[in-house]
Chains A and B, each alone.
Chain A
Amino acid sequence: MRFSIYRYNPETDSKPHMQDYELDIEAGNMMLLDAILLLKAQDETLSVRRSCREGVCGSDAMNINGRNGLACVTPLSGLKQPIELRPLPGQPVVRDLVVDLSQFYKQYRSIKPYLINNEPEPEIERLQSPEDREKLDGLYECILCACCSTACPSFWWNPDKFVGPAGLLQAYRFIADTRDQATNERLDNLEDPYRLFRCHSIMTCVDVCPKGLNPTGAIGKIKEMLVKRTV
């Protein structure tokens, strides 16, 4: 099995290069991460993030044959060889497949990703109907892997000004939560030519999301709410 992997160590390399690797394995039921761990055992210098190896922690997002995804839930058998692995696009590369996600996290923090409710706390849970709770499905499951935002050209051009699909999905997660009382402030925070409106609905975020979520849909709903608010 043949691989071509983006390598860059700022201590020794003046510029990045692609390095070829081979593994004598059958794809079988293996995931891409299994192969990367075998390569890592051969070549300790290859740097990559990984943790849960089951698609819930979001560590091992990378660009796989031109498409963002999680290595741990990408079956080897479906990949064309040589399998080309690159770091997530548009972000500063720290080393090899590891990118600096500071801007991504900063945008996430900027939408105040926490429940705001100023009522006195009841002794029991705040009640919420199953129907209202269902409005959060498809939103709360985000694992912050950054596959979506780093596949979005608007985020590449304006990572400091455009919140990006992941952050906007979470913004809508709190707007949609019937327990949250800060909808107006949240909308104010997004009513901006860059923060929200750099999204041109090209839907690459939906296409690459390893959890099957739909940031474009959530962004559309925020835009709708802003329109309704003005009329």
Chain B
Amino acid sequence: MAIAKRTFDALIIGGGGAGLRAALQLSHANLKVAVVSKVFPTRSHTVSAQGGIAASLGNVSEDNWHWHMYDTVKGSDYLGDQDAIEFMCRQANEAVIELEHFGMPFDRLPNGKIYQRPFGGMTQNYGGAPVMRTCAVADRTGHAMLHTLYQRNIAAKTHFFEEYFAVDLVMDGHGYALGAVALEIESGEPIFIEARATLLATGGAGRIFSATTNALINTGDGLGMALRAGIPLEDMEFWQFHPTGIAGAGVLVTEGVRGEGGYLVNKDGERFMERYAPSAKDLASRDVVSRAMAVEIHEGRGCGKDGDYVELKLDHLGPEVIQHRLPGIRDLSIKFAHVDPIEAPIPVVPTVHYMMGGIPTNLQGQVVMPTTTAPEEAVLGLYAIGECACVSVHGANRLGSNSLLDLIVFGRAAGNHVIEYLKENPFPRPVPDGALDLPMARLSRWDAKRDGITVDELREQMRKTMQRHCGVFRKEEVLQEGVREMLEIAARLPDVMLRDHSKIYNTGRIEALELENLMGVALATMISAAARQESRGAHARDDYPLRDDDNWLKHTLYFSEGHRLDYKPVRLKPLTVEPFKPKARVY
């Protein structure tokens, strides 16, 4: 089958914060860069980020990157790689100042500097008093950041392939990435985009669960592409449950609400976090707060007639603070919970929010994996950044406001590395015969099948199974049952058929391709979770309630071939400073 071909220096798959930050770096270097995005870039999920972006600017309270680094290492439950965490926290100030220079409309302090607010797990002096580190644009920080980055890319004349769905990576026999095949959604025609460097920036995959704060587009497309190219996924058992998703709707309520002074109460009106985290209380890290909420609900102290949620109280902050600092939250609460938070508390439940794991990379964003000759080597010409990557700065639990930071620090770092890599690799490598077979077969499979079950049916089974078997608290029998069920569900994937075989703007076809990606991510998650017999960060086991550093201070690697697991050591040595040694984690 003939296929159109376009050639660029670099190809970025994903138009969210990480992809657009990397694109900007490359466009500024006068490289020919293509951004492929399945939605118009400002519709990417970065737009939903609310509370802010962390940087130790110290505009309000004394701060430095060492403290930020300590908090991030502790927040990760010591699974985060300390070299990557040092790298990110050191660069945070510069990266945020750069966003301000790009035009991002940060809230301001009376002295004209960027406004900062407290956030969970962010402290002064290595675990002391809460620090005001999170730079905010009201409660719309992600929106402001994504639009600013898109606007800079307009100025930089970045080439966008809007509403193109990336199907698969194109690799050669020597392990180099040569670009990707994408489907133009409007015409239904495939296209081969050739590039000497390919960056995956496809975001998260929260849609493997029934209840998630994630957008409908968060289907793990880059992770699916990596798995099909034989690349493993790292630490997929670690999924963050955000404490405050609106009960029933799943819509996110920023931790910034608690940063501004809001707190959680149970049906007795008790501020229960005081019992679980006497010092940080409602600003303990997210895994700690979510577990406390789950315990309150489980032990019968939940609110409402079914006792299945707790309440987030913020009316005491007064209309002024709510309207000025949290206007978006008020709006969402009125729309989705039918509650005006100026008058009454918001019903909330822990809700799947963020994937700490992802495609393994080094500090430059290069995808790395074990080879026959070395424990870890870079896949040449292939990069991953943002939520789809695991570098790993978030380890077993991400701190709020570190994800937007991750996007820009590693988006920029990967961009810089690509610039050097392209100098050393000035010419496209030959595309071997058959290199496009995998993506083209993947596409034609959906037109060949004419009877079977629907995409929606299998997807909903998968989501229910993940929700039931891989929740806030996990245990052996439930996880093993989950693995069995997921293997059965995944085995039915070949039975799924499309009812609509038309070409033009066929969203059913896109959802089918997304389902294949979701399935890979769900399997990786369930199988990695069932294997880890300890509690660490977001992975909490009833039957193994303690962290086990002797046996489990290591990263999981899941390979789709044979559903094989492997492990690699945590990088405990920072770049320049002394390591933070694992110790008991108390908030």
Of the candidate stretches A6-14, A17-25, A151-159, the one touching chain B is A6-14
Give every chain A residue within 8 A of B110 (Cβ-Cβ).
Answer: 129-130
Please report the C-alpha to C-alpha distance between residue A179 and residue B43 in the assembled complex, in whole angstroms: 26
- Given A56-B47, A115-B102, A44:B143 Cβ within 8 A: no
Of the candidate stretches A46-54, A189-197, A213-221, A223-231, the one touching chain B is A46-54
A59-B39, A114-B154, A127-B112 are known; give 12 further A-B pairs, CB within 8 A.
A11-B502, A11-B504, A12-B502, A44-B454, A44-B456, A45-B500, A45-B502, A45-B508, A53-B215, A54-B252, A95-B505, A144-B42
Q: What distance in Å separates the Cβ of A196 from its nearest Cβ neighbour in chain B? A: 20
Please report the C-alpha to C-alpha distance between residue A47 and residue B504 in the assembled complex, in whole angstroms: 10
- B502–A113 contact, CB under 8 A? no
- Given A12-B502, A141-B140, A51:B152 Cβ within 8 A: no
Q: What distance in Å separates the Cβ of B26 from its nearest Cβ neighbour in chain A? A: 17
Closest residue to A34 on the B side, CB-wise?
B249
Within 8 Å of chain A (Cβ to Cβ): is B100? yes
- Given A45-B499, A57-B47, A109-B154, A124:B215 Cβ within 8 A: no
- A133–B215 contact, CB under 8 A? no
Within 8 Å of chain A (Cβ to Cβ): is B332? yes
Q: What distance in Å separates the Cβ of A186 from its nearest Cβ neighbour in chain B? A: 14
- Given A94-B505, A125-B106, A125-B114, A141:B101 Cβ within 8 A: no
Give every chain B residue within 8 A of A98 (Cβ-Cβ).
Answer: 505
Give every chain B residue within 8 A of A47 (Cβ-Cβ).
Answer: 505-507
Q: What distance in Å separates the Cβ of A220 from its nearest Cβ neighbour in chain B? A: 21
Please report the C-alpha to C-alpha distance between residue A48 and residue B500 in the assembled complex, in whole angstroms: 14
- B105–A136 contact, CB under 8 A? yes
User: Which A92-148 residues have C-beta < 8 A from chain B?
Assistant: 94-96, 98, 101, 105, 109, 112-115, 117, 121, 123-130, 132-133, 136, 140-141, 143-144
Within 8 Å of chain B (Cβ to Cβ): is A55? yes
Within 8 Å of chain A (Cβ to Cβ): is B455? yes
Question: Interface size (B, Cβ < 8 Å)?
Answer: 59
Main secondary structure of the interface of A (DSSP, over half): loop
Please report the C-alpha to C-alpha distance between residue A59 and residue B454 in the assembled complex, in whole angstroms: 25
Give every chain A residue within 8 A of B112 (Cβ-Cβ).
Answer: 127-129
User: Which B321-341 residues have C-beta < 8 A from chain A?
Assistant: 328, 331-332, 335-336, 338
Closest residue to B137 on the A side, CB-wise?
A140
- A41–B456 contact, CB under 8 A? yes
Residues of A at under 8 Å CB distance from B?
Answer: 9-12, 29, 40-41, 44-45, 47-59, 73, 75, 94-96, 98, 101, 105, 109, 112-115, 117, 121, 123-130, 132-133, 136, 140-141, 143-144, 174, 177, 179-180
- B508–A44 contact, CB under 8 A? yes
- Residue among A9, A51, A109 having the largest count of chain B Cβ atoms under 10 Å: A51
Please report the C-alpha to C-alpha distance between residue A128 and residue B114 in the assembled complex, in whole angstroms: 9
- B504–A95 contact, CB under 8 A? yes
Q: Lowest 6 A-B CB distances belong to which pairs?
A: A115-B103, A127-B112, A44-B508, A114-B151, A95-B505, A57-B43
Q: What distance in Å separates the Cβ of B57 from its nearest Cβ neighbour in chain A? A: 8
Please report the C-alpha to C-alpha distance between residue A57 and residue B248 in the assembled complex, in whole angstroms: 21
Please report the C-alpha to C-alpha distance between residue A37 and residue B448 in the assembled complex, in whole angstroms: 26
- B101–A57 contact, CB under 8 A? no
Within 8 Å of chain A (Cβ to Cβ): is B463? no
Give every chain B residue within 8 A of A53 (Cβ-Cβ).
Answer: 215-216, 251
- A54–B332 contact, CB under 8 A? yes
Show 22 residue pairs from A and B whose CB-CB distance is below 8 angstroms, ordered by the A residue. Answer: A40-B456, A41-B454, A45-B499, A47-B505, A47-B506, A49-B43, A51-B216, A52-B216, A55-B332, A56-B143, A57-B39, A57-B48, A58-B42, A59-B40, A109-B154, A113-B151, A113-B154, A125-B97, A127-B113, A130-B109, A133-B105, A177-B103
Q: What distance in Å separates the Cβ of B24 from its nearest Cβ neighbour in chain A? A: 11
Give every chain A residue within 8 A of B47 (Cβ-Cβ).
Answer: 52, 56-57, 143
User: Which B151-183 residues have C-beta < 8 A from chain A?
Assistant: 151-152, 154-155
- Given A51-B216, A140-B144, A143-B143, A124:B105 Cβ within 8 A: no
Within 8 Å of chain A (Cβ to Cβ): is B298? no
Give every chain B residue within 8 A of A133 (Cβ-Cβ).
Answer: 105-108
- A114–B155 contact, CB under 8 A? yes
Give every chain A residue within 8 A of B102 (Cβ-Cβ).
Answer: 114-115
- A9–B502 contact, CB under 8 A? yes
